[in-house]
Amino acid sequence: MGGGIMNHEEALNQIAAYIDNELSISEADTLAKHIADCKVCQLEYETQINTISLVKKNANYFEATPMFLSQLDQSIHESVGKSTPKNVIQKRWNINFGISWANIGTMMISLIALVWSTSLFLAIPNTEERLTDELISSHVRSLQVDHLSDVISTDKHTVKPWFNGKVDFSPSVIDFAESGFPLEGGRLDYVNGKTVAVLIYRHNKHAINLYVWPENNKDHQIKEESRHGFNAFQWVYQGMQYWMISDLEEGKLESFANRVQDEIIKSRPQG
């Protein structure tokens, strides 16, 4: 087992910093492993992410204020009631839990304080940017803490069954060694609030992570989401979300993404 074992209280207290990308790579990796195994921390992580997107969504449209505040109130109280030490929420949002949410004037002052205290408009990226950042951070961690593969095998008949019982879906596992993109293995990771399957490919010196998880979005063709010097391509096919991330040159990664998409379509025909 790589990385330290982390206790639950310690993990809970680091979630806000994790979401803000304030942890070191090894701290983030240790925490991600804890979250993958801990239902309470998963819930806390999801609550914080959802609260951020709720604030972001509503802060762009101030007319939604009363609805927003009641949703935020509910979200905070649910989260506090279930799992979160108050000081974590208070630290993140600078909220005084003694206030009465019933008073509209107090609500407005609180909202303004909330927006100011979190530098909302500058600091919080939209959901898609956040997800891209999270996946790129995961990709970088996988390279730097020797956590690229949990199952190391170039044999798809070893890698595919390895996921059985670990995730409740069965990713398509296809080797592309003949085109210079050999399968190296697989692992579990925790991104976007869920445990996901990752397939690892390599082209020359470049590791390629292919993240796979079920998603209710409509099918869509490959979209580029490159950021921070990493290239990322994502698509949805038959209820599965695919994200391919690497520092491999953009054009090569895009043609590999197209190749993988084609083969997945062949292996999972419509109807």
Query: Under the phi-then-psi rule, with left for phi > 0, alpha for psi from -120 to 50, and beta for the rest, what region is 123?
Result: alpha
60 φ/ψ angles, rounded to the nearest 5 degrees: -75, -20
| CB-nearer residue toward Zn ion: 15 or 72 | 15
Residue 11 or 111: which CB sits closer to Zn ion?
11
Q: What are the tokens at 63?
A: 């007319």
Task: Choose the stretch contacting Zn ion; rule: CB under 5 A; options: 6-14, 17-25, 77-85, 141-149.
Answer: 6-14
Q: Is 99 left (phi over 0), alpha (psi -120 to 50) or beta?
A: beta
To the nearest whole angstrom, how small is the minimum distance from the Cβ of residue 83 to Zn ion?
9
Interface residue with Zn ion, options 38, 80, 108, 236 (CB under 5 A):
38
* Number of residues engaging Zn ion in binding (CB under 5 A): 4
11 binds Zn ion (CB under 5 A): yes
Quick one: which segment of 24-32, 35-43, 114-122, 205-213 binds Zn ion (CB under 5 A)?
Answer: 35-43
CB neighbour class for 9 (10 Å; exposed up to 12, middle 13-18, buried from 19): exposed
In whole angstroms, the minimum distance from the beta carbon of 236 to Zn ion comes to 30
Query: Using CB under 5 A, which of the segments 2-10, 82-90, 115-123, 209-217 binds Zn ion?
Result: 2-10
Smallest separation, CB 40 to Zn ion (Å): 5
- Minimum Å gap between C-beta 100 and Zn ion is 32
Q: Which contacts of 32-35 are long-range, i.e. CB under 8 A and separated by 24 or more positions?
A: 32/138, 32/141, 32/189, 32/190, 33/3, 33/6, 33/190, 34/6, 34/8, 35/11, 35/190
Instruction: Using the minimum distance from each CB to Zn ion, give the nearer residue, 45 or 256.
Output: 45
Binding segment for Zn ion (CB under 5 A), chosen from 11-19, 82-90, 91-99, 219-227, is: 11-19
**Integer Cα distance of 143 and 147 in angstroms:** 7
CB nearer to Zn ion: give 35 or 55: 35
CB 195 within 8 A of CB 167: yes
Nearer to Zn ion, 36 or 108 (CB): 36
DSSP codes of every residue in 24-36: -HHHHHHHHHHHH
Subset of 41-100 contacting Zn ion (CB under 5 A) = 41
Q: 263: buried, middle or exposed (CB in 10 Å: 19+, 13-18, 0-12)?
A: middle
Q: Residue number with the shortest CB distance to Zn ion?
A: 38
Residues lying near Zn ion in the complex (CB under 5 A): 8, 11, 38, 41
